[in-house]
Amino acid sequence: MTERATSIWGWGYADKFPDTEARRALAEQVSALLGGVPLSPREPAPLEALRLPSPRIAPPPALAALCSSHPADRAAHTYGKGYGDLVRGFHGDFSPAPDFVARPLSEEHVLALMDWCADHHVALIPFGGGTSVVRGVEPAVGERFRGTVSLDMRRMNAVLEVDTLSRAARIQAGATGPVLEAQLAPHGLTLRHFPQSFEFSTLGGWIATRAGGHFATLYTHIDDLVESTRMLTPRGVLQSPHLPASGAGPAPDRLVLGSEGALGVITEAWLRLQARPRFRASASVLFPDFLTGARAVRELSQAGLHPSNCRLLDEHEASLNAVTADGSAVLVLAFESGDHPLHPWMERALALCASHGGRCPEGPRYRDDSAPRASGAAESWRSAFIEAPYLQNSLVSLGVLADTFETACTWSRFEALYAAVREAVRSTLQRVCGGGWVTCRFTHVYPDGPAPYFTFLGPARPGAELEQWMEVKRAASDALLAHGGTITHHHGVGRLHRPWYERERPGPFALALQAVKATLDPRGILNPGVLLGP
Amino acid sequence: MTERATSIWGWGYADKFPDTEARRALAEQVSALLGGVPLSPREPAPLEALRLPSPRIAPPPALAALCSSHPADRAAHTYGKGYGDLVRGFHGDFSPAPDFVARPLSEEHVLALMDWCADHHVALIPFGGGTSVVRGVEPAVGERFRGTVSLDMRRMNAVLEVDTLSRAARIQAGATGPVLEAQLAPHGLTLRHFPQSFEFSTLGGWIATRAGGHFATLYTHIDDLVESTRMLTPRGVLQSPHLPASGAGPAPDRLVLGSEGALGVITEAWLRLQARPRFRASASVLFPDFLTGARAVRELSQAGLHPSNCRLLDEHEASLNAVTADGSAVLVLAFESGDHPLHPWMERALALCASHGGRCPEGPRYRDDSAPRASGAAESWRSAFIEAPYLQNSLVSLGVLADTFETACTWSRFEALYAAVREAVRSTLQRVCGGGWVTCRFTHVYPDGPAPYFTFLGPARPGAELEQWMEVKRAASDALLAHGGTITHHHGVGRLHRPWYERERPGPFALALQAVKATLDPRGILNPGVLLGP
């Protein structure tokens, strides 16, 4: 009843938006970073000033009890949480709002709504946590439809079955990270999928967008944890068999993973679980520079040690995060296990780092975080990670352009990609904003290449933020593809990445996907414009 | 020029078929196993007595130099190497023979042939090593086509590019295991994908059928080693981006993996490679019985230790292989690494086994096989593994029904599945053959379940082998599906498994796959009847 309110325009809980005074202090710090450009806090448009079009359609009477046309509900389902979403929301522009929001309690409700949408030429947009940063949940479907419905899945959030022997659980798609972990905890099990959006995003959203999670190696995407999926389509229920592995034809789950709501509505999945970790070891390693660190991380990624965290920060990122200020790059390295102490793993990893000039700061070479008390370090790191997106709310209020993007490429392409992308973003920021910052870290690493994650910051001109941002985004995305990177390692395609996705996607695969879409969603009502269609 | 000849009807090299005297000795041993039923060696139909239909079509003149209508070539491309194939070939029945065999040297040749087949209503059957055990390469396409062509890819077998930094290589699809490993060896790298068919099967065949390889955990299927694929289709070239990972939409490679020649012809792929192992540790552990061993292996599979071999033999398998004869189950356990010694890994694994009553036979608790000399143990195990299929040739010549099949299921379903499948096979063998043997081992294990692999043996009635075999196969397959198993963990679907595959495949996914087939192969000429179509 007294659920903690989330921000309509910004990231996370509404009560975490800092007051004007706090944002004034931040303005001073950021201004110094950006060469003294004057910054001052502005206030978001008040609720009563939000600009929403009137609803064009009313909910079907039989489902009216599950639906809301309330402006606050419609506004809260208009955007994801990308930079462009925050800017539009901050200024009160909710023009793409859905005509109504539906909150089904059962698959029957979903199917009834899907039928109704097909019959009435209404677009249906599946909605999980609404944390998309690629315009994946925005009902911007053009004029071809009579209306749009945002399908909020969060009331279908139960852990339905736990198989402790096989360490797997059947979970409803609308469960957020905390909601599903709370239901798994009594069984001594955990999914341990911790995207930065963990608090708000849902299992269904993770699967639909191939979300990246906690593990830096081995189980990097939700893909690796999915045992089977259940997706409702206008042509029936796609329920894949519940198996640890199979070699029977192309894998059905792999069509569901990454389908972004365009092929069906994911309602359940069987997920592989982990024992709660009992042993942990963590270390920070300094390298003279990022590329030297990257060579060490390459060797580490090919050594078969499988660290749970292997986050290499370049000198700019380290400095921005106040970790180091001497031009060093920093590797945040951790191992965890529910089964065994990790000394041999960590010792070998640190030896590899040392052979590349990596040195551990004073104190013990690594921390044994196995004791409950000592696990604070890992927890506090994770808590800082989860808190980070809140900063963007404040930066938007200061009129600062601030965004992140990520990719993956082979090791042999990485150094050129890193140089080119940094330069593309830096020079574009210089040109359109008069200056700015760009930083990089690895979030995940593979034996054949890293997943670099970039952050950029620049002073925006009031009213021109969206154009300035898209110029930087375009320059960055073009540079990624020109240097053998993917347009997204774990944030999906949505409406934002689609032009680059189309360049990356093999032609005959596009034809195949169109054929699948035409078959499973013959009226084209499911999240139109995402992945496919006009 | 003097290439070692392979058997037209049986497994492997022709010169390895034992002479009558040796098979008479085997007959005595097997007869004793089968309760004294009389067995004696028969001889395969001589080359001049093979029954092949006359070719209905001639190769296109422009490609005639790459094509052969020679009966020996046509016979060698008629079947895979399943039990039913061996029996039919042994008796000289090659009625489904292709009209001719084509051996392209380039993608241009493949495309020209694909066009010609489409224009002339001829079925095109991609052929790698011809080791399918599921009738995946048999040109049994019904009367709808004017003819059939077997597309033998083995002349396209080069390693085209090696990226040592990213540990990846671009390899042509026609390369067999030894051919690609020989080209990788000078780079100090290896694919280490060792299916039992390693000597004969090809990279393209592995990808098309989602082959299972050497690693018992983690990298169990070729799927896990594929970085990108290149597949020629009648609608263009499907070339997926060459990336360590991506989150951009459903993964294109996952449509190619398992496509079994029905969607296109795979010509190249980028593969993830390994450093050649420098460290090895191996052990055998005895358990009082199979189910106790299975519980230990379950815990091992969930411990995050990732053994390279983790092969648990049930008491029947151990006894048949003369490993133990006291009712014990045996676990063959090994670790390998190119980076670090493996004592901590093996020590922990053995401790887990010991906590379930597993004991190591006398002598050192485990072997450190890291020294070049000592690596003989692993090599000799692998060599025995590679030799095993030859036995089936001799058994067929003795009139013994002998086959294997495999599955995967969750740990919670395993004990019931094991009991039911054993009983289904045992009782069917009793009914149709008057007796026989059924044994089981794990070839691969996952945190959420094992991949059990069954072998069965029974005395066949001359002339009735195929019907007897299909009765057992049907009983086994029905029992697998009834108890939550998949029809195949790593041997593909082909024409043999299709009825059970259709029961396992989600309905809307079948519709999706049909739509993809109709789009990429609009004339339906590619391996008709495999996965899809009449």
Chain A nearest CA to B344, separation (Å): 7
When pLDDT is cut at 50, 70 and 90, the band that residue A381 belongs to is low
Residue A369 has pLDDT above 80, yes or no: no
Residue A188 has pLDDT above 60, yes or no: yes
Q: Which residue of A has its CA nearest to B336?
A: A304
User: In the prediction, which pLDDT does B376 show?
Assistant: 46
CA dihedral B519, B524, B529, B533 (to 10 degrees): 60
- For residue B235, the chain A residues in CB contact (below 8 A) are 508, 511
**SS3 per residue for B150-183:** EEECCCCCCEEEEECCCCEEEEECCCEHHHHHHH
User: In the prediction, which pLDDT does B375 show?
Assistant: 46
When pLDDT is cut at 50, 70 and 90, the band that residue A364 belongs to is low
pLDDT in tens, B291-315: 999 999 999 999 999 999 999 999 9
Residue A374 has pLDDT above 50, yes or no: no
Where do runs of H (alpha helix) occur along A17-129?
A: 20-33, 71-76, 83-90, 107-120
Measured CA to CA in angstroms, residue B517 lies from A262, B250, B261 at distances of: 20, 17, 11
Q: Among residues A353, A216, A377, which one has the least CA distance to residue A285?
A: A353
Q: Which residues fall within 8 angstroms of residue B350, CB to CB, at 6 or more apart?
A: B283, B285, B333, B358, B360, B365, B366
CA dihedral B219, B223, B228, B234 (to 10 degrees): 170
Taking an 8 Å cut-off on Cβ atoms, the answer to whether B515 and A516 are in contact is: yes
DSSP 8-state code for residue A368: E
User: In the prediction, which pLDDT does B378 show?
Assistant: 54
Residue B352 has pLDDT above 90, yes or no: yes
Measured CA to CA, the distance from residue B240 to residue B124 in angstroms comes to 23
- For residue A252, the chain B residues in CB contact (below 8 A) are 505-506, 509
Give the Cβ contact number of residue B338 at 10 Å: 18
User: In the prediction, which pLDDT does A321 show?
Assistant: 75
Check residues A361 and B125 and name the one with the higher pLDDT: B125
pLDDT in tens, B454-482: 999 999 999 999 999 999 999 999 999 99
Taking an 8 Å cut-off on Cβ atoms, the answer to whether B489 and A210 are in contact is: no
- Asked if A131 contacts A88 with a C-beta cutoff of 8 angstroms, the reply is no
What is the distance of C-alpha B17 from the center of its chain?
21
Strand partners, A404: A455
Q: Among residues B340, B335, B303, which one has the least CA distance to residue A345?
A: B340
pLDDT in tens, B379-436: 566 677 778 899 999 999 999 999 999 999 999 999 999 999 999 999 999 999 999 9
- For residue B257, the chain A residues in CB contact (below 8 A) are 250-251
Query: Angle CA(B300)–CA(B304)–CA(B309) in degrees, nearest 5?
Result: 55
Measured CA to CA, the distance from residue B111 to residue B120 in angstroms comes to 14
Q: What is the mean pLDDT of residues B499-528?
A: 98
Residue A247 has pLDDT above 60, yes or no: yes
User: In the prediction, which pLDDT does A390 show?
Assistant: 95
- Asked if A243 contacts A504 with a C-beta cutoff of 8 angstroms, the reply is no
Taking an 8 Å cut-off on Cβ atoms, the answer to whether A508 and B245 are in contact is: no
Chain B nearest CA to A42, separation (Å): 36
Taking an 8 Å cut-off on Cβ atoms, the answer to whether B511 and A338 are in contact is: no
Check residues A126 and A382 and name the one with the higher pLDDT: A126
Lowest mean pLDDT segment, chosen from A41-45, B379-383, B421-425, B445-449: B379-383
Q: Among residues A211, A528, A17, A404, which one has the least CA distance to residue A8?
A: A17
User: In the prediction, which pLDDT does A362 show?
Assistant: 57
Q: What is the mean pLDDT of residues A211-238?
A: 97
Q: Which among A242, A449, A516 is the nearest to B516, CB-wise?
A: A516
pLDDT in tens, A48-81: 999 999 999 999 999 999 999 999 999 999 999 9
Taking an 8 Å cut-off on Cβ atoms, the answer to whether A449 and B235 are in contact is: no
The DSSP secondary structure of A137-171, one letter per residue, reads S----TTSSSEEEEEE-TT---EEEEETTTTEEEE
- For residue A236, the chain B residues in CB contact (below 8 A) are 507-508, 511
User: In the prediction, which pLDDT does B371 show?
Assistant: 58
For the stretch B342-347, contacts whose Cβ atoms lie closer than 8 Å and that sit 24 or more positions apart, written own/partner, are: B342/B279, B342/B280, B342/B281, B343/A344, B343/B281, B343/B368, B344/A340, B344/A343, B344/A344, B345/B281, B345/B305, B345/B307, B346/B281, B346/B283
pLDDT in tens, B149-192: 999 999 999 999 999 999 999 999 999 999 999 999 999 999 99
- For residue A261, the chain B residues in CB contact (below 8 A) are none
Annotate B355-391 with b (16+ C-beta within 10 A) or e (fewer).
Answer: ebebebeeeeebbebbeeeebeebeeeeeeebeebbe
Lowest mean pLDDT segment, chosen from A28-37, A414-423, B97-106: A28-37
DSSP 8-state code for residue B246: -
- Give the pair of three-digit tokens for residue A468: 């300035």
Give the Cβ contact number of residue A25 at 10 Å: 11
Measured CA to CA, the distance from residue A38 to residue A233 in angstroms comes to 52
Q: Which among A245, A249, A492 is the nearest to B493, CB-wise?
A: A249
- For residue A335, the chain B residues in CB contact (below 8 A) are none
Interface test with B, best of A519, A520, A530, A532 (most B CBs within 10 A): A519
Lowest mean pLDDT segment, chosen from A170-179, A311-320, B35-44, B445-454: A311-320
What is the distance of C-alpha A19 from the center of its chain?
27
Taking an 8 Å cut-off on Cβ atoms, the answer to whether A493 and B249 are in contact is: yes
Taking an 8 Å cut-off on Cβ atoms, the answer to whether B248 and A501 are in contact is: yes
Measured CA to CA, the distance from residue B255 to residue A173 in angstroms comes to 24
| Residue type at position B37 | V
Question: How many C-alpha atoms does A402 have within 13 Å on its Cβ side?
Answer: 18
Measured CA to CA, the distance from residue A317 to residue A332 in angstroms comes to 13
- Give the pair of three-digit tokens for residue B412: 């919670």
Residue B68 has pLDDT above 60, yes or no: yes
Q: What is the mean pLDDT of residues A341-363?
A: 92
Measured CA to CA, the distance from residue B471 to residue B465 in angstroms comes to 10
Residue A447 has pLDDT above 50, yes or no: yes
User: In the prediction, which pLDDT does B373 show?
Assistant: 46
When pLDDT is cut at 50, 70 and 90, the band that residue B2 belongs to is low
* Helix (DSSP H) and strand (DSSP E) numbers for chain B: 16, 18
Angle at which helix A465-482 crosses helix A411-433, to 10 degrees, equals 160
**SS3 per residue for A474-517:** HHHHHHHHHCCCCCCCCCCCCCCCHHHHHHHCCHHHHHHHHHHH
Query: Angle CA(B281)–CA(B282)–CA(B285) in degrees, nearest 5?
Result: 140
Q: Among residues B446, B357, B408, which one has the least CA distance to residue A167?
A: B446
ipTM (interface pTM): 0.96
- Look up tokens 């084509």; give the residue: B102
Chain A nearest CA to B202, separation (Å): 17
User: In the prediction, which pLDDT does B382 show?
Assistant: 67
- Give the pair of three-digit tokens for residue B209: 């059928």
When pLDDT is cut at 50, 70 and 90, the band that residue A376 belongs to is very low
Element (H, E) at A380: helix A376-387
- Asked if A197 contacts A386 with a C-beta cutoff of 8 angstroms, the reply is no
**Average pLDDT taken over every residue of chain B:** 95
- For residue B514, the chain A residues in CB contact (below 8 A) are 519
Measured CA to CA, the distance from residue B56 to residue A364 in angstroms comes to 78
Give the Cβ contact number of residue A28 at 10 Å: 11
Q: Among residues A393, A396, A381, which one has the least CA distance to residue A469?
A: A396
When pLDDT is cut at 50, 70 and 90, the band that residue B139 belongs to is very high
Using DSSP, state whether B192 is helix, strand or coil.
coil
pLDDT in tens, B383-398: 777 788 999 999 999 9
- Look up tokens 């929001």; give the residue: A101
- Look up tokens 């709504």; give the residue: A113
CB pairs under 8 A between A and B: 304
Taking an 8 Å cut-off on Cβ atoms, the answer to whether B531 and A264 are in contact is: no
- Give the pair of three-digit tokens for residue B454: 């069954």
Taking an 8 Å cut-off on Cβ atoms, the answer to whether B258 and A241 are in contact is: no
Measured CA to CA in angstroms, residue A141 lies from A209, A232, B475 at distances of: 19, 21, 52
CA dihedral B447, B451, B452, B457 (to 10 degrees): -170
User: In the prediction, which pLDDT does B13 show?
Assistant: 97
Q: Among residues B481, B483, B520, B526, which one has the least CA distance to residue B504?
A: B481
Give the Cβ contact number of residue A55 at 10 Å: 16
